[in-house]
A and B are shown apart, each in its own frame.
Chain A
Amino acid sequence: MRVVVDLTKCQGYGQCVFAAPDVFRMPHHETLMYELDPDETKRDQVLRAAAACPVRALLLDEEITERQEKASAGNPDIGRIVIVGASLAGLRAAATLRREGYAGALTLIGDEPGEPYDRPPLSKQVLSGQIAAADTMLPRRDELDAEWIRGVAAVGLDLAARQVRLADGRAVGYDRLLIATGVRARPWPDPQEAALDGVSVLRSRQDAAELRRRLASGPRVLVIGGGFTGSEIASVCRELDLPVTVAERGPAPLVGALGGVVGRIAADMQRENGVDLRCGVTVTALEGDRDGRLRRARLSDGSVLDVDLAVAALGAVRNVEWLDGSGLAAGAWGVGCDAGCRAFDVNGIVCDDVFVAGDVARFPHPVYGYQFLTLEHWGNAVSQAHVAAHNMISPSGRLRPHLSLPVFWSAQFGVNIKSVGVPTFADEVAIVQGSVEERRFVAVYGHRGRITAAVTFDEAMWLDFYRDLIERAAPFPPDFAMVGRSAPPRAVPAEIPARIPAIHDATVVVTGHNPDERRATLVSAGAK
């Protein structure tokens, strides 16, 4: 049977471990590791665990999506819905469509062969060898009653003809389209070096299986990039007692997502756990031997490392190339859309029949000054897919905005890190509960005197309290008395690095003179 835990909801009560100790493990305070595909002999245990979860975070495959008989089904104009991208967002959108009563034809198109799988365990349970990469499939939704086109990429979109073109030459027509093509790992920029045996990335199930195979042989590892993926890989290496170096361009790991103050804590955690962490450096070259096997890495500070395995954890590239020339506002920045998930065309006007969700979507968030955000979070894929699917079959008066605050988690070095809000939308940060020394604390982020984010290290039970404060635009720093607080919080600069948004790569020209002729044309959609 299949099970997946919504770890954005999980607060670490551990009730699943009590009920099913053979399936779920909580090896430290709060981090939850589990089998996604336990065998049938454990079914009763898993059912008990699902029932016992205080926040109902376990999703099982036998849960039948109940169709709402009432709902929005009755739009006769919508007979064909196509979803491009058959991973988490696409799958959840499909389930929502059916649950809300959509009874027409439904097609899911995915370029990966095989059933949709869950990615977060790849950098955790799979790399550490607790579960096989193949055993990460998302719970089944057979009752979706959908046509699946697997292992075939979408290569083009014709907005006027309402058709998706496939790599095998087919064209699939739609009345409503959902774009959920996600991202891929940014490859090592030098193609020859990237081709060396021992240079890899981690994004897909195949990547994870390959990386796991290499880790099992006991290599000396270099992780290039100290973001969440890189840090989790380094954590697994230490768990396996492998020597690992992390090379991070910034002043500390996680600094791009959490700022310098919390980043320094993450740096301490890495070093305490035996990671050879090198910050403020870049990898200038990867060198192989005559057989094309990786042998060493050169760093910008002049040092040379002997390594057998280098993992480029340099972030993501959005899967938008298939939309080149389609007339949508798609590029390196993602696919632009409104808060209702309706795609923008190149003129910045929303389409009524094309929607976007998940990692590839670039949408305005009212809570963050209507800034456009792209979020590579499991939880965002789920909630945005839900909103997109609802809006796809709803009349314009009943559209819902995608307003949920971003939530994500990371398990590394025995600590469960969770975040709510947008920590990079901040000028200051304060530790408000717990103890940094004990690696159990709550950090609250503020922007111009109001709370915009909170990050917990093994303190997930408090996260919802801070979510409510963010939603109420509560003042920063929170200065009221609290349990678990030794001294009044001190706000310090959050040290958020400046970033140049990918949208700056867009080159648009405007043509025409008369008002009814003036049109934008997207000339360059940014570096690929």
Chain B
Amino acid sequence: MTTTYETFLDYANRADPYPLFPQLRRTPVARQPDGSYVVSTYREIVALLHDPRVSSDLRNLPEIANIRIAPDDAAPQLPPEFIRRDPPDHDRLRAMVMKHFGPPGAPGRVAGMESRMREIITELIDGLAGRSRIDVVDDFAYPLPVTVICEMLGVPRPDEPLFHKWSQIAVETNDPTTGTIVERNRRRFETLAKLGQYLDGLADAHQREPGDDLLSALVTDGEMARPDVLSTAALLLIAGHETTVNLIANGMLTLLRHPHVLERLRQDPGYAVNVVEELLRYEPPIHMPGPRRTALADIEIAGTTIPQGSVIVLVLASGNRDPARFADPDRFDPDRRDNQHLGFGGGIHYCFGAPLARLETRLALTELTRRLVEPRLVADPPPYRHTPNLRGPLHLLLDIDGIRSAHSASTQ
């Protein structure tokens, strides 16, 4: 018998998984045939995000701890990234990167990127002039975050075709439908090793000639061992351009499905702040975090005991639609109060890049809404990417009647 969770994983339900969530939530903590536990209700997800008995370090599973990629492989295996580590290592590594990205060391860094982001956005939209059909994903939602993360990290933008391939493979290894957890992790290790080798060359170059990018900062401040620098850079590079693309594309799709919200945003760019938060609840870019968690001890929750050693899957997107937490949860309502969504997770692994994603998406949706003339969906639903974890359109085709000038007033 197929469980609701397995049905949810089925690509056939990718375009609209939401009708499955009420059924999923009927068993808040549901054991799956493979022995993992799927958690789908808001309260239980929040509790487990803050439960120190839940580990994010897959090395707790012996079959994964023992994976060694071929020793004669030219690319050495990378240590787990900080999102796949537990305290104290997690806290130490995350703080070393945060030092160059946010408070306390660099509190204004992300806010300071706004004007550069605006430039990139303006260029991308200017480039659509003369077109009557555009792909929001390929023409905008993908190149924007890629350019931003490349510049921030210090990765040459022209290398994108190279690392994009590795990044896609790495993302796919989070997809439970693409093999056993051991097979997928072996593939991930192999792919990350190649990405790490590429980044190692860059790190050498940045060490010789540091720029004001994150990779330069990490190699020159000397706090972090090189293998951890490479894991961290790989993580930020992948996360930086496989997630925000979904948020922007999901956002444009949702706005077009709710024309009154789109119109209000066009009239009032300040509304974008609330629109982005509601998007993170209603159409989050990550439906369930890729790094699986494991129980270090028996955990009693919602009348179920998750036995020690079990894999735990938190379906954040389902928690975001839990009627026990959100009134009228299937309604897209940027005016919603008390929107304490799970779009970026919670607890010590709360999305590292959240401030960047918020800023990029706010500016992106404001500008797209302002400048696209009469945008219309070509296909609804659009085709979706395969993975259920990082859910978003593969393409989002729009017909438009033109592009407004970058300098035109925001209201029509």
Please give the residue numbers on chain A whose beta carbons come within 8 Å of chain B beta carbons, in ascending order: 13-15, 17-19, 21, 25-29, 44, 47-48, 51-52, 54-56, 433-435, 438, 440, 461-462, 464-465, 468, 480-485
**Chain B residues in 8 Å Cβ range of A464:** 47, 50
Closest to A43 in B: B270
Within 8 A of A (CB), among B287-318: 296-298, 308
B348, A461: Cβ atoms closer than 8 Å: yes
Bound together, the chains give a CA A15 to CA B280 distance in angstroms of 15
**Chain A residues in 8 Å Cβ range of B102:** 14, 17-18
What are 11 pairs between A and B in contact, CB < 8 Å?
A14-B102, A18-B355, A21-B108, A26-B103, A29-B104, A434-B87, A434-B88, A462-B52, A480-B296, A481-B297, A481-B308
Bound together, the chains give a CA A148 to CA B297 distance in angstroms of 56
Within 8 A of A (CB), among B52-106: 52-57, 86-88, 90-91, 95, 102-104
A15, B277: Cβ atoms closer than 8 Å: no
B355, A483: Cβ atoms closer than 8 Å: no
Q: Is residue B110 within 8 Å, beta carbon to beta carbon, of the partner chain?
A: yes
Please give the residue numbers on chain B whose beta carbons come within 8 Å of chain A beta carbons, in ascending order: 47, 50-57, 86-88, 90-91, 95, 102-104, 107-108, 110-111, 270, 273-274, 276-277, 296-298, 308, 338-340, 344, 346-348, 350, 354-355, 358
A433, B111: Cβ atoms closer than 8 Å: no
Bound together, the chains give a CA A465 to CA B44 distance in angstroms of 12
A-B contacts besides A481-B296, A484-B91, 8 pairs, CB < 8 Å: A18-B354, A25-B104, A47-B270, A52-B277, A52-B354, A55-B340, A56-B338, A465-B50
Picked from A13, A25, A483, the residue with its CB within 8 Å of the CB of B52 is: A483
Known: A21-B111, A47-B273, A433-B52. A483 touches B296 (CB 8 A): yes
A52, B355: Cβ atoms closer than 8 Å: yes
**Chain A residues in 8 Å Cβ range of B277:** 51-52
A18, B51: Cβ atoms closer than 8 Å: no
The 10 closest A-B pairs by CB, nearest first: A484-B87, A18-B355, A480-B297, A483-B86, A482-B52, A26-B103, A481-B296, A17-B103, A21-B108, A21-B107
Bound together, the chains give a CA A212 to CA B48 distance in angstroms of 44
Bound together, the chains give a CA A372 to CA B6 distance in angstroms of 52
Bound together, the chains give a CA A461 to CA B345 distance in angstroms of 13
Closest to B295 in A: A481
Bound together, the chains give a CA A28 to CA B296 distance in angstroms of 30
Bound together, the chains give a CA A435 to CA B87 distance in angstroms of 10
Bound together, the chains give a CA A25 to CA B104 distance in angstroms of 8
Q: How far is the CB of A418 from chain B (nearest CB, A)?
A: 13
- Dominant secondary structure at the B interface: loop
**Chain B residues in 8 Å Cβ range of A54:** 340, 344, 346, 350
A465, B52: Cβ atoms closer than 8 Å: yes
**Chain B residues in 8 Å Cβ range of A484:** 52, 86-88, 91
Q: How far is the CB of A64 from chain B (nearest CB, A)?
A: 10
Q: How far is the CB of B108 from chain A (nearest CB, A)?
A: 4
Bound together, the chains give a CA A433 to CA B358 distance in angstroms of 32
A15, B354: Cβ atoms closer than 8 Å: yes
**Chain A residues in 8 Å Cβ range of B51:** 465
**Chain A residues in 8 Å Cβ range of B274:** 51
**Chain B residues in 8 Å Cβ range of A433:** 52, 87
Q: Which interface residue of A18, A55, A468 has the most chain B CB atoms within 10 A? A: A18
**Chain B residues in 8 Å Cβ range of A29:** 95, 104
A26, B107: Cβ atoms closer than 8 Å: yes
**Chain B residues in 8 Å Cβ range of A51:** 273-274, 276-277, 339
Bound together, the chains give a CA A184 to CA B47 distance in angstroms of 38
**Chain A residues in 8 Å Cβ range of B50:** 461-462, 464-465
A25, B347: Cβ atoms closer than 8 Å: no
A25, B296: Cβ atoms closer than 8 Å: no
A18, B107: Cβ atoms closer than 8 Å: yes
Q: Which interface residue of A25, A29, A484 has the most chain B CB atoms within 10 A? A: A484
B358, A19: Cβ atoms closer than 8 Å: yes
**Chain A residues in 8 Å Cβ range of B53:** 480-483
**Chain A residues in 8 Å Cβ range of B350:** 13, 54
Bound together, the chains give a CA A26 to CA B102 distance in angstroms of 10
Bound together, the chains give a CA A54 to CA B50 distance in angstroms of 13
A15, B104: Cβ atoms closer than 8 Å: no
**Chain B residues in 8 Å Cβ range of A462:** 50, 52
Picked from A15, A26, A435, the residue with its CB within 8 Å of the CB of B355 is: A15
**Chain A residues in 8 Å Cβ range of B88:** 434-435, 438, 484
Q: How far is the CB of B217 from chain A (nearest CB, A)?
A: 17
Q: Which interface residue of B103, B270, B338 has the most chain A CB atoms within 10 A? A: B103
Q: How far is the CB of A475 from chain B (nearest CB, A)?
A: 13
**Chain A residues in 8 Å Cβ range of B346:** 54
Picked from B104, B108, B270, the residue with its CB within 8 Å of the CB of A26 is: B104
**Chain A residues in 8 Å Cβ range of B354:** 15, 18, 52
Closest to B51 in A: A465
**Chain B residues in 8 Å Cβ range of A465:** 47, 50-52
Q: Which interface residue of B47, B52, B90, B298 has the most chain A CB atoms within 10 A? A: B52
Bound together, the chains give a CA A511 to CA B311 distance in angstroms of 69
